Amino acid sequence: MTSPFEYAPAPESRAVVDIKPSYGLFVNGEFVDGRGTSFKTVNPATEEVLAEVAEANEADVDEAVKAARRAYTRVWSRMSGAERAKYLYRIARIIQERGRELAVLESIDNGKPIKESRDVDVPIVAAHFFYYAGWADKLKYAGFGDTPLGVAGQVIPWNFPLLMLAWKIAPALACGNTVVLKPAETTPLTALLFAEICQQADLPPGVVNIVTGAGDTGRAIVSHPDVDKVAFTGSTEVGKAIARAVAGTEKKVTLELGGKAANIVFDDAPLDQAVEGIVNGIFFNQGHVCCAGSRLLVQESVADEVMSRLKRRMATLRVGDPLDKNTDVGAINSAEQLAKIRELSEIGEAEGAERWSAPCELPANGYWFAPTVFTGVTQAHRIAREEIFGPVLSVLTFRTPSEAVEKANNTPFGLSAGVWTDKGSRILSMANKLRAGVVWANTFNKFDPTSPFGGYKESGYGREGGRHGLEAYLKGADD
């Protein structure tokens, strides 16, 4: 079933953003030219080149780390928590004031629907700065000491460019550290706009440094000898390489890596709400979500009913222009990611799973993938084990709660899970048995700055968010 009527386009104006033809690096409070080469960032919905961005080399990274060290020693670590908080509150307020600009730019550079960048990403980014501003003068009550580590080197992925930046920068600054942050190579623009916001907030030069580039720039940050703390969010493969690179050094590390979450639907669940939760779990942000509910485990007795309601709902999802306020599913972030999603989906078919894609028309230009569901998936299938990181759901069935737990935990990852049931006692017993950092009950993909987030096993270690998120940026008794 397709939508019974067409929506008139309702595009958000992009006039609110001012994209420059080229960008340098943000070091010591100023935009400077990089010494290395440059790369292009592209709008994934149109393939239009948006800007030429500097690729920081080792010397650029060294300059940024030196600026961060100077700012740490001379200014930031000497400032009282209450003073640091004023800057964080100011940044939070400017993010709110410039929220529309940030949301439009995020959607243009990343491909995510404007309704998500406007109503989810940017509000949570501001909330994160407000939240950690509140901690800056209360660190001694948090239970992790109040001594900062020094310079934090932070490397983030492309799926939530601003949100991941906020998760990294807000707690680091609140605790008195200074930072060198690298955004992902396909989504550098909002981090560079954030650099302007730091200038607008009169943040002392060198407290935040933004260096753009790809893997080599990331490696230079991680292996720089004067970086005290490495915070990484990205793929498990790169996370493992980083763990190896810092092994044997004094650097403190947190790794937020991949996931393959089970979204578990019991037969007593309110099925319409569960279907909304399944859709939100896997199609939010095109499925480019580390904690996406990419494995649906549905109780056998309701499997047919859930699948028919799910397909009906998927057929109404609007895929297309990320700046259109009606869009539910935007563009895939890059040609590389699209190729990876296509490849794993073809493998799913070759392995014998049954593929169904929503009957939507995809735009001619840009990178697109229709919301897709695979049924008849078994645990041996690669689409049940590997992170696809796209709008692709693998469906498995179960008969008993213990079978659901066994299947849910049968993964090298351990980031998140969802449980849909009418029984509170079952929620508690499942949450205790699921080996996942976050377990949502009768909801999915809910984020709040007060709540710690992080994984087990190959999903990484350390927690971001909440009081726990402070620990990663403070010298504990054994450091």
Q: Per the residue annotation, which of 55, 106, 256, 458 is the catalytic one? A: 256
Q: Mention every residue, 6+ apart, whose C-beta is less than 8 A from residue 151.
A: 65, 68, 69, 72, 177, 178, 179, 180, 226, 227, 228, 229
Q: Mention every residue, 6+ apart, whose C-beta is less than 8 A from residue 17.
A: 101, 104, 105, 108
Provide the token pair at 478.
């054994």
Min dist. Cβ of residue 293 to ligand NAD (A): 13
Residue (302 or 341) nearer to ligand NAD, CB: 341
Residue (181 or 310) nearer to ligand NAD, CB: 181
Min dist. Cβ of residue 244 to ligand NAD (A): 10
Residue (265 or 290) nearer to ligand NAD, CB: 290
Min dist. Cβ of residue 230 to ligand NAD (A): 9
Min dist. Cβ of residue 364 to ligand NAD (A): 26
Using CB under 6 A as the criterion, which residues of the chain lie in contact with ligand NAD when the complex forms? 155-159, 182, 184-185, 214-215, 218-219, 222, 233-235, 238, 241-242, 256-259, 290, 387, 389, 415, 455, 459-460
Min dist. Cβ of residue 1 to ligand NAD (A): 32
Residue (12 or 387) nearer to ligand NAD, CB: 387
Cβ-proximal residue to ligand NAD, closest one: 218
Q: Which residue has the tokens 């990343």?
A: 110
CB 75 within 8 Å of CB 119: no
Residue (75 or 214) nearer to ligand NAD, CB: 214
d(C-alpha 476, C-alpha 109), whole Å: 38
Min dist. Cβ of residue 456 to ligand NAD (A): 11
CB 50 within 8 Å of CB 42: yes
Min dist. Cβ of residue 379 to ligand NAD (A): 20
Kindly report the backbone phi and psi dihedral angles of residue 212, in degrees, each rounded to the nearest multiple of 5, phi listed first: -95, 160
d(C-alpha 294, C-alpha 220), whole Å: 33
CB 260 within 8 Å of CB 456: no
| 256 included as an active-site residue | yes
The residues assigned a catalytic role are 256
